[in-house]
Amino acid sequence: MTTTDWSLSETDVLSRVGDALADDRDDVLATVIDVEGSAYRRPGAKMLIRPDDTAGSITAGCLEDEVARVGSEVRESGEPRIETYDLTGGDDALWGHGMGCNGIITVLLEPVDERHRPVVETVAAHEPVAVATVVGGAGTVGERAWYRPDEGFAGGLDEQIREALAGPAAELLGDGGADVVEVETDDGPIEVFVDGIDVPPHLVVLGSGPDVVPVVDLAKRVDFRVSVVSFRGARANRERFPGADTVLSSSPAALGDDLSFDDETYVVVMTHNFVDDGLALETLLDTRVPYIGLMGPRERFEELREEFDDEVSMTGEDVERVHTPIGLDLGGDSPYEVAYSIVGEVLAVANGRSSGHLSARAGPIHDRRDLDAGVVPE
């Protein structure tokens, strides 16, 4: 089995699921639904298993071939299946100390069919959705419903079960998390995997120079939606930035008319133009964006504030939003090293992290949660 697209984000994997539906292919979707101990990926990680290759990943390569083999059996049977892999050592040397995860990983494998279409279409429309899939207990494995914030649940599952899952679905969707939730019913407990698929954060890059290209490339690889805004109309073409979702021409004053800026939007200012930077900063400070990264040394920023003192009035909170010099202190100066520094800082802010060394972090690397679903009324 050859993995040709191992590093795809979950958004990209779901896009490939949409392609499978459009082409009427018999692909299989593998999703991590539970992790005990340490693992490379967390619940919600996805891999699409095609007849000749795979797209996406669920581990660092430890299980992909084995899961792909099981996926072939699921394709033949047409029935969903749950597999648990113990990589902690145990009695099986194959999954023991030779592997790096040292955890127990449970995977749901299911044939791609029409039950996936509403989710794929919702994600493609850049709208949030939580998917509730029965994975154990008294329910039928693979039975599914989906939850949208403004509409509630639709699809399968008993209405009373949906009511019990509404709270956990909303909570998981709020931070893009995923977990198995147990719901008590008259027929016994049902285990439901709730997968919160939030809209990818939006990165807006102001600028159209060659140094924008690696920033766009890396940001797309970590699942940002990327808009490139050129203040020079001739440079606003998709050929210059093929990885961007949107490329447009605008002006600093018209940014709010051409794009939507909210608290899930992050802005990198790379115009290399003193006047454009000041005018753009004036516009951005009137929005809710939590991060404005500004190229150039701190002295340049202070000069900019003095030059635009009447237009750019900054509070203490505003100063905290503006990151200049932009990026993490990685020590490099090549185009991709600079891009790694920029995208790394934006990713840390988007994930609510301080971007320190993981070796200094107390507790698990990934946040853990303990959800409680309501009891289905009799």
Predicted confidence pLDDT, tens digits, the chain (378 residues): 445 588 888 899 999 999 999 999 999 999 999 998 878 889 999 999 999 899 999 988 788 899 999 999 999 999 999 999 988 865 454 444 445 567 889 999 999 999 999 999 999 999 999 999 999 998 899 999 999 999 999 998 998 899 999 999 999 998 889 999 999 988 899 999 999 999 899 999 999 999 999 999 999 999 999 999 999 776 778 888 988 999 999 999 899 999 999 999 999 999 999 999 989 998 999 999 999 999 988 899 888 888 776 666 677 788 889 999 999 999 988 999 999 999 999 999 998 888 776 555 566 655 566 666 654 434
Evaluated on CA atoms 206, 210, 213, 215, the torsion sign reads: negative
Can you name the residues that pair with 55 across neighbouring β-strands? Answer: 5, 48
Q: What is the pLDDT of residue 95?
A: 47
CA distance 296 to 90: 54
Q: What amino acid is encoded at 80 in this protein?
A: P
Residue 288: phi, psi to the nearest 5? -95, 10
Tokens of 137: 């207990």
Q: What amino acid is encoded at 292 in this protein?
A: I
CA distance 130 to 142: 15
Reported for 342-347, long-range contacts at CB under 8 A and 24+ positions apart, including other chains, are 342/215, 342/268, 342/293, 343/215, 343/218, 343/219, 343/222, 343/224, 345/293, 346/203, 346/219, 346/224, 346/266, 346/268, 346/291, 346/293, 347/222
Q: What is the pLDDT of residue 218?
A: 96
Q: What is the pLDDT of residue 314?
A: 72
Give the helix, strand, coil percentages of the chain, each rounded to 5: 35, 25, 40
Q: What is the pLDDT of residue 306?
A: 81
Q: Are 97 and 87 in contact (CB under 8 A)?
A: no
Give the CA angle between residues 365, 367, 372 to the nearest 5°: 155
Tokens of 153: 């649940």
Residue 177: phi, psi to the nearest 5? -90, 175
Q: Which of 115, 127, 133, 158 is nearest to 20 (CA)?
A: 115
Q: What is the pLDDT of residue 152?
A: 92
Tokens of 288: 């809710």
SS3 for 131? strand
Q: Does residue 326 come out as left (phi exceeding 0), alpha (psi in the -120 to 50 range) or beta?
A: beta
Residues 6+ apart with CB under 8 A from 110: 28, 29, 31, 74, 80, 81, 133, 142
Q: Which of 355, 291, 356 is nearest to 323 (CA)?
A: 291
Q: What is the pLDDT of residue 205?
A: 97
Q: What is the pLDDT of residue 43?
A: 93
Q: What is the pLDDT of residue 370?
A: 62
Q: What is the pLDDT of residue 1?
A: 44
Q: What is the pLDDT of residue 376?
A: 46
Q: What is the pLDDT of residue 101?
A: 61
Can you name the residues that pair with 28 across neighbouring β-strands? Answer: 49, 111
E strands of the chain, at which residues? Answer: 2-5, 28-37, 46-49, 53-56, 81-86, 103-111, 129-137, 144-148, 152-155, 178-185, 188-197, 202-206, 225-230, 246-249, 265-269, 291-294, 322-323
